Amino acid sequence: SFAFRRNDTSETDTTLTFQYGETLGNWSNLTIGAAGGTDAASGVIVEVSENGTAPDDITIRVPRNSRPALFGRLRAAEKP
pLDDT per residue as tens digits for the range 16-64: 999 999 999 999 999 998 889 999 888 999 999 999 999 999 999 999 8
Task: Kindly indicate the confidence band of residue 66, based on its pLDDT and cuts at 50, 70 and 90.
Answer: confident
Query: Which pLDDT belongs to residue 67?
Result: 86
DSSP for 4-57?
A: EEE-TTHHHHEEEEEEEESSSS--EEEEE-SS-EE-TTT--EEEEEEETTEEEE
